[in-house]
């Protein structure tokens, strides 16, 4: 080999783990690593290409010549090619030139394990290291408290490319600019976590990051890897957790990506019925292949270990679980038991969750799963998939469908609101008002509310207040927190100028108050995933479109009474049953003037009377604001 000599980072045990699908730290071995060997500085390269006849490293250091730096294949049938090239330094551009031994195909691929990539549309990998001095030790020591299922979990979902842009050229903010602008804003708003739509490198902006080519590299659109670490660090120091969208469900067929990597179906399933996704016209991982499982689980642990992520939200889980997902009857084949479940995927997801929680018990995994697949957020020891939480898509669709109706018709559709309570505790649910609900012609959340301007914003305040008092964790997409008027456009900033208008600023103040209420009141989070945390007072007042219920914490004194009026009719002396005697104190009402409401509020203390009502011995007469929610404590 010309100027190339092998100095393997692999031990025999590494190879055994890799072949068995149990090597969860592959990023320490495969890829490009700056090392010193026998007093010589250079880069060790290793790539998995089992059907290759020849592999070489091409880059700006050898004029992209495939003959200059060939790699050697290991003797152990692992399919790994490796070599050490002296003199190369951090920042060098490179790819792998791969000649297949099964056909005449030659591919030129980016490194699947690259830590850094050229900024799109360029596609080369960049030799890099991940040397960063973290300052978030206090957060990391205590994050089990922030990520616990009995703590408030309020998530702000962010697309970095369009949260805010700057200058006449509409440029992206950098990771370091986000570390000031975004962090300050999230702290002000009171969210507990930020969820980043995929920040792993992706070639095509309209994919929003969900078509990945650089699984181990934060996108260079916004800066260098250590700059993204700086952003995560800043969020942690401000007391904010970081959730990363993770996409193990599919990947694009870009020529420099994972598809047909070594001239064969290496990462994707060879059966197109399992290896191609018709909705997204992308390739699907072969979850039954051990080496692919090692790749994916290593990637998950990589972001938790090296970037201190606090949670992974796994995208498109439903598409992974079902063999017939978005496929015609002739486009799928039942499993060995005659069912439509993808058994390889189920096994993989269980192993993924087991690996995550075994190594990082203080984080969460969150499934975007839109079907009734059972026990998604139950431990694998109980037969579940092992996720910590699951998005409550049914609640989202039913609730938005209800709220778009004119108030005069709502009395006929109250079951759309109450139905969620029949299954809300079957999983650890997160209530999402996500990016998917403000694109593709759906309009913004605000513009889907019925009525005149006052009613639209009152309905929006009502929707958010109902969401924050409903059992479960919360997720709100950026812009929703101030009533963004236009549908989300990934090519431009949010409409921040709207905050000069009272109604929009009122929604912002409402979200600040709801986040504060959620964090302050134990009854809203201590038992948010338990039957013990919720009790109906009355769900059958369809005629008035009113719901009332109790949220419970560990101590009875923390119980909250919540009453929701889903019409614009003011209701005086509205009587509700109360579990015990004392007085009611209104601690929150969505109709407050600061939120843009009419400021119709209850007396400071409302006496609870020994008058039987709603199957309870005690009751109280309250006032219901138009399109409003009131939250009371019993003292």
Annotation says 36 is catalytic: no
Residues 6+ apart with CB under 8 A from 491: 162, 170, 205
3-state DSSP assignment of residue 467 = helix
How far apart CA 184 and CA 188 sit, in angstroms, is 6
368 is catalytic: yes
Q: How is residue 113 written in tokens?
A: 């394990």
Residue 424's nearest CA partner among 492, 490, 470 is 470
Judging by beta carbons within 10 Å of its beta carbon (0-12, 13-18, 19+), is residue 293 exposed, middle or buried? buried
Whether residue 24 contacts residue 294, with contact meaning beta carbons closer than 8 Å, is answered with yes
Omega before 629 cis (within 30°)? no
**What is the SS3 assignment for 211?**
coil
Length of the chain: 635
Nearest to 392 by CA among 353, 347, 341, 434: 434
**Residues in a beta bridge with 563:** 548, 630
390 strand-pairing partners:
367, 429
Annotated catalytic residue, options 262, 291, 315, 559: 315
In sign, the C-alpha dihedral spanning 332, 334, 336, 341 is: positive
Of the candidates 218, 223, 125, the residue with the CA atom closest to the CA atom of residue 172 = 223
Q: For residue 301, how far is the Cα from the chain centroid?
A: 16
The Cβ-side half-sphere exposure at 448, using a 13 Å CA radius, reads 19
The catalytic position among 111, 227, 368, 481 is: 368
Interstrand relation of 583-589 and 629-634 (parallel, antiparallel or unpaired): antiparallel
Active site residues: 315, 368
């Amino acid at each position: 080999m010309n100027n190339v000599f092998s100095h393997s980072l692999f031990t025999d045990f590494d190879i055994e783990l890799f072949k068995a699908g149990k090597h969860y730290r592959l990023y320490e071995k495969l890829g490009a690593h700056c090392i010193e060997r026998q007093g010589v500085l250079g880069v060790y390269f290793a790539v998995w290409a089992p059907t290759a006849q020849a592999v070489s490293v091409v880059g700006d250091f050898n004029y992209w010549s495939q003959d200059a730096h060939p790699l050697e294949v290991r003797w152990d049938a692992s399919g790994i090619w490796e070599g050490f090239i002296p003199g190369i330094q951090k920042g060098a551009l490179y790819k792998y030139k791969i000649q297949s031994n099964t056909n005449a195909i030659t591919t030129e691929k980016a490194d699947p394990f690259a830590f850094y990539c050229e900024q799109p549309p360029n596609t080369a990998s960049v030799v890099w290291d991940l040397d960063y001095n973290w300052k978030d030790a206090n957060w990391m020591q205590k994050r089990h408290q922030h990520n616990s299922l009995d703590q408030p979990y309020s998530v702000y979902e962010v697309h970095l490319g369009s949260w805010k842009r700057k200058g006449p050229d509409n440029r992206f903010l950098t990771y370091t600019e986000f570390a000031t602008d975004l962090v300050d804003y999230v702290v002000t708003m009171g969210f507990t976590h930020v969820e980043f739509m995929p920040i792993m490198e992706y070639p095509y902006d309209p994919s929003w990051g969900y078509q990945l080519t650089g699984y181990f590299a934060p996108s260079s659109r916004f800066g260098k890897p250590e700059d993204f670490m700086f952003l995560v660090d800043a969020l942690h120091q401000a007391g904010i957790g970081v959730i990363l969208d993770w996409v193990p469900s599919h990947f694009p067929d870009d020529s420099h990506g994972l598809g047909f990597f070594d001239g064969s179906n290496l990462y994707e399933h060879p059966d197109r019925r399992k290896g191609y996704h018709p909705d997204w016209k992308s390739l699907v991982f072969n979850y039954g292949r051990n080496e692919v499982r090692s790749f994916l689980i290593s990637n998950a642990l990589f972001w938790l270990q090296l970037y201190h992520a606090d949670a992974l939200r796994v995208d498109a889980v439903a598409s992974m679980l079902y063999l017939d997902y978005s496929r015609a009857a002739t486009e799928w084949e039942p499993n060995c038991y005659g069912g439509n479940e993808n058994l390889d995927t189920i096994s993989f997801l269980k192993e993924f969750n087991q690996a995550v929680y075994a190594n990082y018990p203080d984080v969460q995994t969150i499934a975007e799963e839109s079907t009734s697949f059972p026990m998604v957020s139950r431990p694998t020891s109980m037969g579940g998939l092992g996720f910590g939480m699951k998005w409550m898509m049914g609640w989202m669709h039913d609730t938005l469908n209800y709220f778009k109706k004119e108030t005069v018709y709502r009395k006929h559709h109250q079951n759309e609101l109450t139905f969620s309570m029949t299954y809300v505790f079957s999983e650890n649910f997160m209530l999402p008002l996500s990016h998917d609900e403000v694109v593709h012609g759906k309009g913004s959340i605000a513009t889907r509310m019925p009525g005149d301007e006052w009613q639209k914003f009152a309905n929006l305040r009502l929707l958010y207040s109902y969401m924050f008092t409903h059992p479960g964790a919360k997720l709100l997409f950026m812009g929703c927190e101030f009533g963004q008027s236009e549908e989300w456009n990934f090519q431009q900033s949010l409409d921040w100028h709207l905050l000069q208008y009272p109604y929009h600023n009122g929604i912002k103040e409402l979200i600040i108050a709801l986040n504060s209420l959620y964090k302050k009141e134990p009854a809203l989070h201590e038992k948010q995933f338990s039957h013990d945390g919720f009790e109906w007072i009355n769900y059958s007042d369809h005629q008035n479109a009113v719901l009332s219920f109790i949220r419970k914490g560990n101590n009875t004194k923390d119980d909250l009474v919540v009453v929701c009026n889903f019409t614009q009719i003011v209701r005086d002396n509205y009587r509700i049953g109360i579990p015990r005697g004392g007085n009611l104190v209104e601690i929150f009402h969505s109709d407050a003037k600061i939120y843009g409401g009419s400021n119709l509020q209850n007396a400071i203390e409302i006496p609870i009377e020994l008058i039987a009502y709603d199957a309870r011995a005690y009751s109280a007469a309250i006032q219901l604001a138009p399109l409003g929610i009131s939250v009371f404590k019993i003292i």
